Chain A
């Protein structure tokens, strides 16, 4: 399984790359679903994997499609490994680790855009430059979408258009992305012709 292809349609999309080991005093690895494979792939290519793992803290949760590779990551033997049941349950642990982190820390985020975006947002709040956070997109492409009208975020959006889970408007999914929201933008599709909603197409899996 390789890097999920992301079409470069929009300059506000995050830049995803293949994870590579970098020098650091602490390697903080956060992943969900098939992101675990990105982590093991990186370690397999690293000449110094043992030392990297000795200074690593791994946080993982299953993907939105249920894929759970936590056993594989736990077996790596890092000094700290944490399995959360969901992303919201993982984030408080991440916030605590970030609160007294030192410079010289390296971040590796892998898996769905939702996990990557929310972890990236938490890291950015410390003042750490987001461009230096490594991000590899693997597995599910379902999206977090913010309704520009009611500001509510709908999780795991699969179709385009879709119904906002907060206010009920039918929204089309733009590729315009906000790091601050960790979400794509959804805009009312039938504003000019109320009631005329095109057939929903499965766009994200």
Chain B
């Protein structure tokens, strides 16, 4: 049994595109409107901003608990490439095996429930049968028995799910990042950070510690209950639709930040939004953290006038330390200059939905 993908089904929906080299990634017009634009007002500062993660507006990225969109197949192919180049991007400390099974159960059941045309899971006691049609996978395995899967349960299921994942073990009134699948992160190293506590893992983030954001977040998460997941947003900027912006490969993608010009900025500069969701897991009592990444080039964002105006104002007024920490200080002025053409100064309604 292996996990070689045999995609080919549903080609009229799932795109065949690249997140590297020639960067053929594009959002279809319908998908642009699904983009989870993260700014509900004209300025930005860190906050805990957690809300219940319940199924939301139909036709949006919030409709289902785990969103599967037109980029699913290509993202999974890109993930497999990253892992082939660097297996250290997926690690699970030995005591996290049970949490891995909890996550596998959660993802299989959710996907089969919400997208029955693509996924199914049938169970006979611990004998499970999993079908993933978009990736061409049809596996029978024994739940809780690692030797019946080609990878450990955590790696197995996250190789088939969009978004980075980490599993936090709860001990000593703290959360420990003891497993991770991190191939689309915004510039942090799983290999370095695995095993750290909540505060340690977030240590490099400027400003937020002084504001007590992480103290409140940790207190909140320690009370997260099974059956009541939550979500919040984070965002940054990426040049080219590059999912894999790891510190490990920074010498390779770092120079791309210097290639922006006013002419290519609209096509190359991407707003990168992380829809983060958190789930209490039943058997391990661990917390699963899903960091689902959405990319949209500036050209596409400004087709929604409200988003164009708002993004201009947010970037223009953002504190310098934030722009530096988020890695785009070098190009901030160019971005603001470019976006100013799309901001006529009109008042803009609160909230992030595209319609005014």
Q: Residues of A with Cβ closer than 8 Å to B?
A: 10-12, 129, 131, 146, 148-149, 151, 169, 174, 176-181, 185, 187-188, 191-194
- Pair A10/B195 contact, Cβ less than 8 Å: no
Distance in Å from the Cβ of A86 to the closest Cβ of chain B? 25
Distance in Å from the Cβ of B91 to the closest Cβ of chain A? 10
Distance in Å from the Cβ of B101 to the closest Cβ of chain A? 22
Interface bits B51-88 vs A (CB < 8 Å: 1, else 0):
00000000000000000000000000000000000001
- Pair A11/B202 contact, Cβ less than 8 Å: yes
Interface bits B203-227 vs A (CB < 8 Å: 1, else 0):
1100001000000000000000000
The residue in chain B whose Cβ has the minimal distance to the Cβ of A9 is B203
- Pair A176/B248 contact, Cβ less than 8 Å: no
Q: Residues of B with Cβ closer than 8 Å to A?
A: 88, 172, 189, 191-196, 199-204, 209, 247-251, 254-255, 257-258, 330
- Pair A187/B172 contact, Cβ less than 8 Å: no
Residue in A176, A181, A192 whose CB lies within 8 Å of B330: A192
- Pair A180/B258 contact, Cβ less than 8 Å: no
- Pair B204/A193 contact, Cβ less than 8 Å: no
- Pair A191/B204 contact, Cβ less than 8 Å: no
- Pair B172/A193 contact, Cβ less than 8 Å: no
Contact A180:B195 (CB < 8 A) given known A11-B209, A185-B189? yes
- Pair A193/B258 contact, Cβ less than 8 Å: yes
- Pair B195/A191 contact, Cβ less than 8 Å: no
Residue in A129, A178, A193 whose CB lies within 8 Å of B195: A178
Residue in B191, B199, B202, B247 whose CB lies within 8 Å of A187: B247
Contacts of A181 in B (CB 8 A): 192
User: Within the assembled complex, what's the spacing in Å between the Cα atoms of A188 and B196?
Assistant: 22
Contacts of B201 in A (CB 8 A): 12
Contact A174:B204 (CB < 8 A) given known A148-B247, A185-B192? yes
Known A-B contacts: A187-B247, A193-B258. Give 4 more (CB < 8 A): A131-B172, A149-B247, A149-B250, A179-B196
- Pair B254/A148 contact, Cβ less than 8 Å: no
A–B Cβ pairs within 8 angstroms, 30 of them: A11-B200, A11-B209, A12-B199, A12-B200, A12-B201, A129-B172, A148-B189, A148-B191, A148-B192, A148-B247, A148-B248, A149-B248, A149-B249, A149-B250, A149-B251, A151-B88, A151-B191, A169-B251, A174-B204, A178-B195, A180-B194, A180-B196, A188-B250, A188-B254, A191-B251, A192-B254, A192-B255, A193-B255, A193-B258, A194-B255
Contacts of B195 in A (CB 8 A): 178-180
Contacts of A129 in B (CB 8 A): 172
User: Within the assembled complex, what's the spacing in Å between the Cα atoms of A192 and B191?
Assistant: 22
Contacts of B193 in A (CB 8 A): 178
User: Within the assembled complex, what's the spacing in Å between the Cα atoms of A180 and B330?
Assistant: 33
User: Within the assembled complex, what's the spacing in Å between the Cα atoms of A31 and B233?
Assistant: 46
Contacts of B203 in A (CB 8 A): 10-12, 176
- Pair B172/A178 contact, Cβ less than 8 Å: no
Contacts of B194 in A (CB 8 A): 180
Distance in Å from the Cβ of A119 to the closest Cβ of chain B? 17
Q: Which of A176, A185, A194 has the largest count of B CB atoms less than 10 A from its CB? A: A176
- Pair A178/B192 contact, Cβ less than 8 Å: yes
Q: Which of A148, A169, A174, A185 has the largest count of B CB atoms less than 10 A from its CB? A: A148
Distance in Å from the Cβ of B338 to the closest Cβ of chain A? 20
The residue in chain A whose Cβ has the minimal distance to the Cβ of B214 is A11
Contacts of B254 in A (CB 8 A): 188, 191-192
User: Within the assembled complex, what's the spacing in Å between the Cα atoms of A157 and B243?
Assistant: 33
User: Within the assembled complex, what's the spacing in Å between the Cα atoms of A19 and B202?
Assistant: 28
- Pair A187/B250 contact, Cβ less than 8 Å: yes
User: Within the assembled complex, what's the spacing in Å between the Cα atoms of A174 and B209?
Assistant: 17
- Pair B255/A191 contact, Cβ less than 8 Å: yes
- Pair A178/B196 contact, Cβ less than 8 Å: yes
User: Within the assembled complex, what's the spacing in Å between the Cα atoms of A149 and B85?
Assistant: 13
Distance in Å from the Cβ of B89 to the closest Cβ of chain A? 12
- Pair A12/B250 contact, Cβ less than 8 Å: no
Contact A10:B204 (CB < 8 A) given known A146-B192, A178-B196, A192-B255? yes
Contacts of A149 in B (CB 8 A): 247-251
User: Within the assembled complex, what's the spacing in Å between the Cα atoms of A148 and B252?
Assistant: 13
The residue in chain A whose Cβ has the minimal distance to the Cβ of B201 is A12
User: Within the assembled complex, what's the spacing in Å between the Cα atoms of A131 and B199?
Assistant: 14
Contacts of B255 in A (CB 8 A): 191-194
User: Within the assembled complex, what's the spacing in Å between the Cα atoms of A193 and B202?
Assistant: 27
Closest A-B pairs by Cβ, 9 of them? A191-B254, A12-B203, A12-B200, A11-B203, A180-B195, A191-B251, A192-B254, A11-B199, A191-B250
Distance in Å from the Cβ of A179 to the closest Cβ of chain B? 7
Contacts of A180 in B (CB 8 A): 194-196
User: Within the assembled complex, what's the spacing in Å between the Cα atoms of A148 and B199?
Assistant: 20
Contacts of A174 in B (CB 8 A): 204
The residue in chain B whose Cβ has the minimal distance to the Cβ of A149 is B248
User: Within the assembled complex, what's the spacing in Å between the Cα atoms of A148 and B248?
Assistant: 5
User: Within the assembled complex, what's the spacing in Å between the Cα atoms of A149 and B203?
Assistant: 20
The residue in chain B whose Cβ has the minimal distance to the Cβ of A188 is B251
Contacts of B199 in A (CB 8 A): 11-12
User: Within the assembled complex, what's the spacing in Å between the Cα atoms of A180 and B191?
Assistant: 10
